[in-house]
């Protein structure tokens, strides 16, 4: 192979040296043809050397070549279908960890029902993780006094001026505003909320002062679907 490439190169050089004064050959400038012949010869020599080394351990080299080819295909496929792969990953997280927000491409958020039948929604309040119980019967978002204190909200005793009904009866709550409340990619700011007295509630409630800000929300089977305003 190498000898043939050298013979071709010598033939082209001889042809160029003996040709007439025409500046082009087969539509190519003479210097272009010379560079092409030289580059082609170098490439041929390189490939010949590579093949000579490759065939010395052809079994091992073929395995390595197939591995890198498969890895390349996997990387290209992963990039081409990255959105679909992300959706599958989100669904798996939502199934294995109920309450986690699974975000779709249209910005909607889906939450899977827990084994006990409730929707426990993992959210962030003022950038801090909190868990809420989905409750359309609650007119407001409600934080327990303990959870509110954990994110730096501690109303004064005189602020507990609103009567609310709880499973334990009527209790007093303090009105507050949350800087932000986020579920997945849905974020609402300056959300009106209440802080219950200590011991009045066992958990936070995701009520209507947040839900009313959404474009829509619905329960479909074992899934709670939240859609932002578009």
pLDDT at 137: 87
pLDDT at 221: 86
Whole-model pTM?
0.58
pLDDT at 71: 73
**CB atoms inside a 10 Å sphere around CB 206:** 28
Question: Could you tell me which CATH number the domain at 90-227 has?
Answer: 2.40.70.10
Q: At 25, is the secondary structure helix, strand, or coil?
A: strand
The H or E element containing residue 65 is helix 58-80
pLDDT at 94: 46
- The closest of 122, 107, 123, 103 to 182, measured between CA atoms, is 123
- The closest of 206, 208, 213 to 111, measured between CA atoms, is 206
Per-residue pLDDT tens listing for the chain (230 residues):
545 655 655 565 565 555 555 555 555 565 666 666 667 666 666 666 666 665 666 667 567 667 767 777 777 766 565 555 545 544 555 455 557 788 888 889 999 888 777 889 999 999 999 999 999 888 999 999 999 999 999 999 999 999 887 656 678 899 999 999 999 999 999 999 999 998 888 899 999 999 999 999 999 888 899 999 87
Domain boundaries, the chain: 2-80, 90-227
pLDDT at 105: 81
Token pair for residue 92?
A: 């798996």
């Amino acid at each position: 192979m190498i000898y043939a490439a050298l013979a071709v190169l010598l033939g082209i050089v001889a042809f160029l040296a003996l040709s007439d004064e025409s500046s082009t050959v087969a539509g190519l400038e003479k210097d272009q043809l010379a560079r092409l012949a030289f580059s082609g010869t170098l490439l041929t020599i390189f490939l010949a050397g590579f093949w000579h080394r490759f065939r010395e351990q052809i079994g091992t080299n073929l395995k390595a070549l197939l591995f890198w080819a498969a890895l390349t295909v996997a990387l290209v496929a992963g990039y081409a279908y990255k959105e679909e792969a992300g959706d599958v990953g989100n669904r798996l997280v939502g199934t294995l960890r109920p309450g986690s927000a699974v975000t779709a491409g249209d910005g909607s958020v889906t939450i899977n029902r827990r084994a006990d039948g409730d929707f426990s929604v993992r959210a962030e309040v003022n950038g801090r993780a909190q868990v809420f119980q989905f409750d359309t019967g609650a007119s407001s978002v409600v934080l327990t006094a303990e959870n509110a204190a954990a994110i730096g909200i501690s109303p004064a005793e005189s602020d507990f001026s609103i009567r609310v009904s709880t499973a334990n009866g009527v209790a007093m709550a303090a009105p507050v505003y949350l800087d932000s409340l986020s579920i997945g990619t849905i974020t609402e700011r300056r959300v009106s909320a209440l802080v219950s007295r200590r011991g009045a509630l066992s958990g936070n409630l995701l009520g209507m002062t947040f839900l009313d800000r959404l474009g829509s929300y619905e329960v479909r089977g074992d899934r709670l679907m939240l859609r932002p305003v578009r």
